[in-house]
Amino acid sequence: LGPDRAAPRSRLYSLNCLDWSLLTPATKEMLALAEQLKGRFQGDPSFEYNLAEINAEAAARLTEGGREPVIKEEVRLIATIEQIDREVGIVPRGAFVKTPLGSVHENRHFEGLSLLEAKKLSSYFHFTEPVNLKNKTLLEKANLDPSTDFLDSLEHDIPQGSWSIQLEKGGTVVVVRSLLWLGLTFYHVPMTKQFGYVYFGTGEKNLDLPFML
């Protein structure tokens, strides 16, 4: 992470937790191609998926552009991490502030959410470029603080019910789990600055979620 928390991040991956390699930033093309792939990861960054067997149209476009219709697992990994961060990477309300110049920094005055606030979906934001916020009317934005309410809240996520909030350790830790990306767990200790999220999953999006709710 750099000084501006909203700036693109550097990401690393490892096969043995000793040697680390740098992942290149995700592009729109990478994200589009990775969405065609189904099934679990192989665990080999150089493994090649044959796109002709998965999506003939996408394979034809690559062939026309003079490229082989294959996708490396490393590209799929880059795109999956980007997708997870965009769709379910979350932070508590007030943990970050936006300066008048547009950069985002940690809020030094943030002392954690109260237990009451920590149990509400509206107290958590997607830590990515807002979409719903731009569609709000001036009246809806009237009660928002532009320095802290500059992100999209979880309460308007579609489908409704794609998040699960639970209290653990006798109500001292709030855990928010995503049902869209199974394995994504966010934690926050109310009244402290401790929060974060981790993902342990298969790298597959739960596309059946609308039928499960």
- Residue 167: which domain range? 109-211
pLDDT of residue 3: 82
Mean pLDDT (the chain) is 84
Count of structural domains, the chain: 2
**What pLDDT was estimated at residue 140?**
58
| 1 domain residue, yes or no | no
Tokens 């107290």 belong to which residue? 123
- Report if residue 99 sits inside a domain: no
- Examine the domain organization and report whether 78 and 116 are in the same domain: no
Instruction: Decide if 100 is inside a domain.
Output: no
Q: Rounded mean pLDDT of 13-37?
A: 87
In a domain, 197, yes or no: yes
pTM of the model: 0.83
pLDDT confidence of residue 147: 74
58 in a structural domain: yes
Residue 6 resides in a domain: no
Matching residue, tokens 């002392």: 111
Q: Give me the pLDDT at residue 84, please.
A: 92
Q: Is it the case that residue 174 has pLDDT exceeding 80? A: yes
Mean pLDDT is highest, among 13-17, 144-148, 197-201, for 197-201
Q: What's the CA gap between 204 and 77, in Å, rounded?
A: 11
Shared-domain flag, residues 71 and 148: no
Alpha-helical regions (H) of the chain: 28-34, 51-54, 56-64, 73-88, 115-118, 138-141, 209-212
